[in-house]
Amino acid sequence: MKHLLKLIDLSTEEITEILNLSDQLKYELKNNIPHPRLAGKTLGMIFQKSSTRTRVSFEVGMYQLGGHPLFLSANDLQIGRGEPTADTARVMSRYCDGIMIRTFEQAEVEEFAKYSTIPVTNALTDFAHPCQIFADLLTIREYKGSFEGLKVCFIGDTNNMANSFLVGALKVGMKFTLASPAGYVLHPEIAAFVKDNPNFEQTTDVLAAAKEADVVVTDVWASMGDEAEEQKRQQDFVGYQINNEVMANAKSDAIVLHCLPAHREEEITTEVFEKYANVIFDEAENRLHVQKAILVKLMEK
């Protein structure tokens, strides 16, 4: 694994290796066992989208691994003033040991990796959110013991979260049902990935999607970059909410995941959010552990 750009690029074995290393690093941290596996290395962190969990978890994680995180907003770089992505990649490759990018276009991350001689990690684009899905998979495995026989129900937009979650879930052997309003279709690359896969289903029926689900997931109705459509989406997604009726259709021991931030009383009710808050914030914590594992896999050599 040279870069982490999207989960489609990874094999089941590579995903499992990262999850296992995440477990190890989490155990070591909880037991005060130092693991400075990236001592002396620097991670350049490019943010063209704002963040809470991504920035804090990557900075803290790099510090715990013994390395140095370098925060760079678009305003801090010439890339924000028109320098080609390729030139920025070639320059930063001579200064840093790894790059993390949180931006809009997937093509920008792909181009950065093309011209970079150091590992590039996609910390979020409009197309993919691989780091979050590793945290979600780790949380599911912690609560359920394994992935075998599990069903994931995702209620909401066909966005970067849905794109990445369905790929991750199917690659580790889970079933995945996506409930979205009519007209919200999968990205062509994702549609090609799930074509003829018996473990994937997309429906407009929320209650049918949640039936016998082990994991129920949602995300905000309007992601960053979709603000202009917010009013339309507020209408389109009426009924696409995790609430008590939906959870009554899922298994009695089902868990709820949300990548945060959550808009209570929109995609999830306050009551359901608070009932599953421990799981959701374990999920948020796991961003730290999986990202450390990703960085070690990419940068330790």
Q: Which residues have C-beta within 8 Å of that of residue 76, sequence separation ≥ 6? A: none
My answer on whether 142 and 76 are in the same domain is no
- Does 54 count as an annotated binding residue? yes
Which CATH number does the domain housing residue 274 bear? 3.40.50.1370
**What CA–CA distances, in Å, run from 16 to 66, 101, 137, 173?**
24, 23, 10, 11
My answer on whether 22 and 158 are in the same domain is no
- Does 129 count as an annotated binding residue? yes
Q: Which residue type does 52 have? A: T
Query: Is residue 94 flagged as an active site residue?
Result: no
Q: What is the pLDDT of residue 270?
A: 98
User: What SS3 class is residue 118?
Assistant: coil
Split into its structural domains, the chain has a count of 2
Catalytic residue among 102, 141, 258, 289: 102
My answer on whether 108 and 152 are in the same domain is no
My answer on whether 179 and 265 are in the same domain is yes
* Lookup: tokens for 296: 């070690």
pTM score, two decimals? 0.96
Q: What is the pLDDT of residue 80?
A: 59
Which regions in the chain score pLDDT beneath 50? none
- The 10 Å Cβ neighbour count of residue 114 is 12
Sign of the torsion formed by the C-alpha atoms of 166, 3, 58 and 82: negative
- Does 52 count as an annotated binding residue? yes
My answer on whether 139 and 281 are in the same domain is yes
My answer on whether 115 and 16 are in the same domain is yes
- Please provide the DSSP assignment of 225-252 as one string: T-GGGHHHHHHHTTT--B-HHHHHHS-T
Catalytic residue among 97, 126, 214, 219: 219
My answer on whether 280 and 145 are in the same domain is yes
My answer on whether 154 and 291 are in the same domain is no
Query: Is residue 129 flagged as an active site residue?
Result: yes
- Does 53 count as an annotated binding residue? yes
Q: Which residues have C-beta within 8 Å of that of residue 148, sequence separation ≥ 6? A: 173
User: What SS3 class is residue 128?
Assistant: coil
My answer on whether 180 and 87 are in the same domain is no
- Does 252 count as an annotated binding residue? no
My answer on whether 118 and 140 are in the same domain is no
Catalytic residue among 64, 106, 132, 291: 132
My answer on whether 32 and 151 are in the same domain is no
My answer on whether 101 and 169 are in the same domain is no
Domain ranges, residue 54? 3-129+287-299
Query: Is residue 153 flagged as an active site residue?
Result: no
Query: Is residue 187 flagged as an active site residue?
Result: no
Q: What is the pLDDT of residue 225?
A: 63
